[in-house]
C-alpha cells in the first residue's frame, strides 16, 4: 500500500476470493485499493477504496449494492497494510473469505510501480542488499550538497569508527533519487558472525568506560577548535587556488567531526544497552526503569532548557521600545522568538524543580535495585560498575547531538554560504542558495576556475522536481525481513533510530515502543517540522516523525510525545526521559493516521497511543 488508502474489489456470483493492493495502480493517493473478485478479472468487480488512516471506506463502486460487509472490507485492507509493512514495499494480495475467516492465498510486490522510483545501481552487487530509507534523519528529497553532507559526514564517520572497532558488517549510506538509504552487509561467513559480533561488542564496552574522559579532555576541545577554524574561513579574501584549498579544509573538518560523533555514540549507546541488559538480568525490573536511572544527567540539555527559561522570564518582564540549507536561530531569529513564545505560553514546574524530581525517581530505582541485590555481593558489584559507566557515558547519547550534529551543521551552513557568495561575485552563480544544487567537486572546480553554471543549475532544478514527484518505497534492493526491535547497539542497521512498529488495529490504538513512562490524555498536534511549532499549545500531545535536541522547547511544552520512527534509544526517547515527558516512539503511521486535534491517550510505559474517539 502506498500513501494512505487501500482498495477492495468484489465480483458478484463468484467464489469468495478477493484481490487487494496497497495502492491503486491508477493513482498515487494514500489509499488501499481492493476488489472482491476472481484474480483473472473475468467478471466485472465491485471496487472499494479504503483509507489507511482509519480503515474507513473512502469510495465504493457496486453494480447492485455492496457484496461485502464493511467489516470484511476493513479486514482485507488491514491485511494489505500489514503485509506492505512487512515487505517494505507496495503489495498485491489474493485472499479468500470462508465462514467468516480471512485466508491469505498469495502476496507479491506490485511490479508495475517500479518505474516510479527507478534505481540505477553503481555496483550490481548492491541490488542484493536491503536498503532502508532513513526516516529518522532525512525527510523528503535531499539536494546534491546535502547528499554530500551525509556521505562525508555519517557515512565517513561510520567507516572510520568501524576501522577502529572492527564489527563484522559494513554499513553504508547512499542516495537514490535524492532520498537517503542505508544498508548493511555481513563481512564474515554466517557461522563466524556471532563470534566476531561478540568481540566487537566487547571493544565497544571497553570504549564506553573511557569515552566520557575522552569527550571532556580531547574531543570537546577539538570540536571547539574545529568550529573556530570554520568560522575563520574567509574565501572572499584569498586567491582562487587558496579558496579551493579552504573548501577542502572545510570538508576535512566536517569528516573529523563525524568521526568523533560515531566513536562517541558507539560507546554511549553501548553502555545504555548494557545497563538495560544488566538491570533486567540481575534486578528483574522493566527496561523503562533501567533507562530512567540516567535521566536528568545530560547537563548540556538541561542547560539549554534553563537558558530558554531565562530568556522567557526576561521576555515576561520586558516591553518593546517600539511598536543544510536549514537556518540556525542566529540566521533566522524568528525561530528563536518562536521557541521563546512556546515557553511564554507554558505553565508548570521550574526546570530546576523538575530536574530534582527526575533525579529523585532515578535514585529511588537505584536504591530499590541495591536492596534486591544486597545479599548477592558479586551481582551488586557488577550492577554498580555498569551503572557508574552508564551515568558517565550514557548522557552522551543525546548531548553529542547538540555539540556535533547541530553545531557542525550550523557552522557548515554559514561557511558554505560564504563560499557561495564568492561564486556569485565571480558570476558563476546567480544566488547563494544555488550552491546546494552542486556537489563538492563541482564547487571546488568553480572556485578554482569560475564559469557560468546557470545551465547546470537549471538541470539540477529539473532533477529536484523529478525526484520530488517520485514516491519512495521504504526499502529498495533485496526484500526486507520483518522489522524487529534490535539492541540499541545493533551492529547492523541503526534500529534504535529507525524502528517502526507494525500496527494491527490503527483505527483504535497505535502501538510503539514505550520510551518514557507516564499516562496522559490530550489533543494530538501534528508537527512535521519546526516551522510548524507555533501550532503546539499547552496541553497538546506532540506528534512528529522524529526529533533532535532542537525540539527541546516543544518537548517541555507538550504533555506527551509520539513519533513515527525510533526505538528506546532514539533521539526523541532520550530527550523525553531527560525531561520526564511521557513518550511513545516508532508508531510508523501516527502522522498519516491521527488527525490534528484528535483526543488521544499516550501510555509511555506500555507503548500505546489510544484513540479516544474511536
Between CA 352 and CA 345 the distance in angstroms is: 19
pLDDT at 350: 66
Lowest mean pLDDT of 179-188, 220-229, 234-243, 531-540, name the range. 531-540
- Domain 5-113: CATH superfamily is ATP-grasp fold, B domain (3.30.470.20)
Confidence of residue 341 (pLDDT cuts 50, 70, 90): low
Given this model, what pLDDT does residue 177 score? 97
Distances (CA, A) of 398 to 184, 297, 395: 24, 11, 6
Q: Read off the pLDDT band of 348 (50, 70, 90).
A: low
Q: Is the pLDDT of residue 493 over 70?
A: no
Q: Is the dihedral of CA 346, 350, 356, 360 positive or negative?
A: negative
Percent over 90 (pLDDT), the chain: 53
Give dist(CA 162, CA 158) in Å, integer: 6
Name which residue leads in pLDDT, 84 or 576: 576
pLDDT for 354 equals 76
Q: What pLDDT, on a 0 to 100 scale, did the predictor assign at position 318? A: 39
Secondary structure (3-state) at 449: coil
- Predicted local confidence at residue 336, as pLDDT: 60
Of 494 and 136, more confident: 136
140 burial (CB, 10 Å; 0-12 / 13-18 / 19+) is: exposed
Higher pLDDT residue, 314 or 195?
A: 195
**pLDDT of res. 327:** 62
Q: Per-residue confidence at 498, pLDDT binned at 50, 70, 90?
A: confident
Other CB atoms within a 10 A radius of the CB of residue 210 amount to 14
Residues 6+ apart with CB under 8 A from 260: 157, 219, 222, 223, 404
Location of C-alpha cell 509511555:
604
Q: How confident is the model at residue 3 (pLDDT cuts 50, 70, 90)?
A: very low
Each residue's pLDDT tens digit, 16-35: 555 555 554 433 434 455 55
495-611 matches 5-113 in CATH topology: no
H-type helices in 479-557, by residue range?
A: 495-498, 552-555
Q: Domain 495-611 belongs to what architecture? A: 3-Layer(bba) Sandwich (3.50)
Q: For residue 1, is pLDDT > 60?
A: no
Q: Is the pLDDT of residue 8 over 80?
A: no
Inter-helix orientation angle 240-282/377-393, to 10°? 160
pLDDT at residue 299, rounded to an integer: 72
Residue spans of the domains in the chain: they are 5-113, 117-283+373-482, 495-611
- What local confidence, expressed as pLDDT, does residue 491 receive? 39
Label residue 131 by pLDDT band (50, 70, 90): very high
Answer whether residue 547 shows pLDDT above 90: no
Higher pLDDT, 515 or 334: 515
Name the pairing type of β-strands 179-186 and 130-133.
antiparallel
Phi, psi (rounded to 5 degrees) for 38 = -90, 135
pLDDT band, residue 139 (cuts 50/70/90)? confident
* Lowest-confidence region among 129-138, 251-260, 317-326: 317-326
Torsions phi, psi of 602, nearest 5? -105, 120
For 317-331, how does the pLDDT look when each residue is reduced to its tens digit (9 = 90+)?
Answer: 433 333 366 665 556
- For residue 487, is pLDDT > 70? no
Residue 159, pLDDT score:
96
Q: Is pLDDT at 379 greater than 80 in this prediction? A: yes
Give the list of residues 6+ apart from residue 210 with CB closer than 8 angstroms, or none: none
Lowest-pLDDT choice from 350-359, 552-561, 573-582: 350-359
φ and ψ at 285, to 5 degrees? -90, 175
Q: Check residue 10 and give its pLDDT.
A: 43
State the average pLDDT over residues 569-588.
90
Asked whether residue 102 carries a pLDDT value surpassing 70, the answer given is yes
Task: Output the pLDDT for position 21.
Answer: 58
pLDDT number for residue 37: 46
Q: Among candidates 389, 387, 395, 392, which has minimal Cα distance to 368? A: 387
Return mean pLDDT, the chain: 83
CB within 8 Å of 428: residues ≥ 6 apart = 446, 450, 451, 452, 453
pLDDT tens readout for residues 55-68: 777 677 776 555 67
Alpha helical stretches, state H, 215-239: 220-232
Quickly list H helices, 434-570: 440-448, 454-469, 495-498, 552-555
Question: Per residue in 163-180, pLDDT tens?
Answer: 999 999 999 999 999 999
CA dist 206 and 197 (Å) reads 14
Amino acid at each position: 500500500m502506498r500513501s494512505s488508502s487501500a482498495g477492495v474489489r468484489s465480483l458478484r456470483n463468484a467464489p469468495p476470493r478477493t484481490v487487494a493492493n496497497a495502492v491503486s495502480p491508477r493513482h498515487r493517493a494514500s489509499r488501499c485499493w481492493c476488489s472482491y473478485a476472481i484474480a483473472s478479472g473475468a467478471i466485472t468487480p465491485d471496487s472499494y477504496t479504503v483509507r489507511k488512516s482509519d480503515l474507513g471506506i473512502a469510495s465504493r463502486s457496486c453494480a447492485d449494492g455492496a457484496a461485502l460487509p464493511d467489516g470484511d472490507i476493513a479486514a482485507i485492507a488491514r491485511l494489505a497494510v500489514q503485509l506492505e509493512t512487512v515487505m517494505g514495499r507496495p503489495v498485491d494480495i489474493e485472499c479468500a473469505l470462508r465462514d467468516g475467516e480471512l485466508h491469505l492465498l498469495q502476496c507479491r510486490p506490485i511490479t508495475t510501480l517500479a518505474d516510479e522510483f527507478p534505481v540505477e545501481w553503481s555496483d550490481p552487487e548492491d541490488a542484493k542488499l536491503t536498503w532502508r530509507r532513513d526516516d529518522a534523519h532525512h525527510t523528503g528529497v535531499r539536494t546534491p550538497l546535502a547528499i554530500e553532507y551525509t556521505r562525508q559526514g555519517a557515512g565517513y564517520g561510520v567507516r572510520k569508527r568501524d576501522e577502529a572497532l572492527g564489527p563484522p558488517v559494513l554499513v553504508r549510506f547512499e542516495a537514490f533519487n535524492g532520498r537517503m538509504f542505508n544498508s548493511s552487509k555481513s563481512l564474515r561467513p554466517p557461522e563466524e558472525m556471532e563470534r566476531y559480533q561478540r568481540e566487537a561488542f566487547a571493544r565497544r564496552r571497553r570504549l564506553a568506560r573511557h569515552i566520557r574522559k575522552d569527550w571532556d579532555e580531547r574531543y570537546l576541545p577539538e570540536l571547539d577548535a574545529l568550529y573556530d577554524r570554520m568560522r575563520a574561513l574567509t574565501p572572499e579574501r584569498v586567491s582562487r587556488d587558496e579558496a579551493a584549498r579552504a573548501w577542502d579544509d572545510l570538508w576535512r573538518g566536517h569528516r573529523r567531526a563525524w568521526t568523533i560523533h560515531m566513536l562517541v555514540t558507539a560507546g554511549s549507546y553501548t553502555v545504555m544497552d548494557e545497563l538495560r541488559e544488566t538491570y533486567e538480568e540481575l534486578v528483574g525490573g522493566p527496561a523503562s526503569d533501567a533507562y530512567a536511572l540516567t535521566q536528568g544527567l545530560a547537563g548540556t540539555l538541561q542547560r539549554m532548557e534553563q537558558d530558554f527559561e531565562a530568556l522567557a522570564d526576561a521576555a515576561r518582564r520586558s516591553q518593546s521600545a517600539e511598536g543544510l540549507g536549514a537556518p540556525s536561530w542566529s540566521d533566522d531569529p524568528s525561530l528563536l522568538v518562536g521557541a521563546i513564545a512556546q515557553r511564554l505560553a507554558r505553565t508548570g514546574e521550574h526546570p530546576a524543580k523538575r530536574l530534582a524530581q527526575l533525579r529523585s525517581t532515578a535514585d529511588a530505582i537505584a536504591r530499590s535495585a541495591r536492596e534486591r541485590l544486597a545479599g548477592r555481593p558479586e551481582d551488586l558489584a557488577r550492577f554498580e560498575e555498569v551503572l557508574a559507566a552508564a551515568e558517565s557515558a550514557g548522557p552522551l547519547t543525546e548531548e553529542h547531538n547538540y555539540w556535533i550534529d547541530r553545531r557542525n551543521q550550523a557552522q557548515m551552513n554559514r561557511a558554505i554560504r560564504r563560499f557561495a557568495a564568492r561564486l556569485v561575485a565571480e558570476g558563476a552563480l546567480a544566488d547563494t542558495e544555488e550552491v546546494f544544487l552542486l556537489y563538492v567537486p563541482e564547487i571546488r572546480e568553480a572556485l578554482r576556475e569560475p564559469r557560468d553554471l546557470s545551465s547546470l543549475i537549471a538541470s539540477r532544478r529539473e532533477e529536484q522536481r523529478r525526484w520530488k514527484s517520485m514516491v519512495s518505497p521504504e526499502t529498495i534492493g533485496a526484500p526486507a525481513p520483518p522489522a524487529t526491535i534490535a539492541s540499541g547497539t545493533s551492529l547492523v542497521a541503526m534500529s534504535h533510530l529507525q524502528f517502526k512498529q507494525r500496527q494491527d488495529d490503527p483505527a483504535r490504538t497505535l502501538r510503539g515502543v514505550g520510551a518514557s513512562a507516564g499516562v496522559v490524555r490530550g489533543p494530538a498536534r501534528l508537527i512535521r517540522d519546526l516551522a510548524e511549532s507555533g501550532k503546539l499549545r499547552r496541553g497538546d500531545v506532540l506528534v512528529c516523525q522524529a526529533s533532535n535536541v532542537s525540539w527541546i522547547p516543544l518537548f517541555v511544552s507538550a504533555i506527551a510525545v509520539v513519533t513515527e520512527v525510533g526505538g528506546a534509544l532514539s533521539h526523541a526517547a532520550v530527550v523525553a526521559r531527560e525531561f520526564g515527558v511521557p513518550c511513545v516512539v516508532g508508531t510508523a503511521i501516527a502522522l498519516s493516521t491521527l488527525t490534528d486535534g484528535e483526543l488521544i491517550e499516550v501510555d509511555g510505559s506500555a507503548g500505546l497511543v489510544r484513540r479516544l474517539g474511536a
